Amino acid sequence: MKAVFDYGDEVRVIRNVRNDGTYPGKEVGEFLLRRGSVGYVQNVGTYLQEYTIYSVHFIEEDLLIGCKEEELVPASDPWVPSLYEFRDKVTTTVPLSIKGEVVVEPGAHGEVLKVLRDAGPVVQYHVRFPGRTLQVPEPVLTPLTVSKDEAAPKRKKEVNGAD
């Protein structure tokens, strides 16, 4: 395995970072670092002899975090901030069509699969809607909001039909 980055390289993290259980003193899932943050490679190692992992010191946040190679880009690369990232739930505000046929209605819920920062003048996303994945520009998406009723777990009825 050949590492893309080396000791001292200035890198940018392209995803928000949450504690996966390996950061001491923080709860699993707790937010650690905002995408776009810049740090310096302090060490290079591997995980399961399959993944290159970089220890990156984010000076401004004073955090030393292990990052996978696919989570990093050179800090010198142009950076275009995005509103959404991988696995964010979104809703489309307009009908989406292919060759004039509407394939996704306004208000349809989708999930971001990939952020395309260099696909044109605005950030684009690969978004998975029920039955298909489309490339969608950022301005036609809004965050999916879930009501308290939708978020609450549904109670199962007892076998005898009683609540």
Asked whether the predicted pLDDT for residue 156 surpasses 50, the reply is: no
Q: Are residues 20 and 54 in the same domain?
A: yes
Mean pLDDT of the chain: 85
Q: Are residues 60 and 102 in the same domain?
A: no
Number of neighbours of residue 115 by Cβ within 10 angstroms = 21
Is residue 48 assigned to a domain?
yes
Cα–chain center distance at 8 = 26
C-alpha span between 97 and 105 (Å, rounded): 9
User: Which pLDDT does position 133 carry in this prediction?
Assistant: 96
Question: What total number of domains does the chain contain?
Answer: 2
C-alpha span between 118 and 141 (Å, rounded): 18
Q: What CATH number is associated with residue 55?
A: 2.30.30
Quickly state the pLDDT bin for 147 (edges 50, 70, 90).
low
Is residue 155 assigned to a domain?
no
Q: Are residues 31 and 65 in the same domain?
A: yes
DSSP bridge partners of 40: 10, 57
Integer angstrom CA distances of residue 18 from 21, 64, 67, 88, 93: 9, 13, 11, 14, 29
Is residue 150 assigned to a domain?
no
Q: pLDDT tens digits, residue range 21-39?
A: 888 888 988 889 988 999 9
3, 69 in Cβ contact below 8 A? yes
Question: Which amino acid is it at 36?
Answer: G
Q: Are residues 105 and 139 in the same domain?
A: yes
Is residue 159 assigned to a domain?
no
Q: Are residues 67 and 112 in the same domain?
A: no
Structural domain containing residue 33: 10-74
User: Which pLDDT does position 4 carry in this prediction?
Assistant: 86
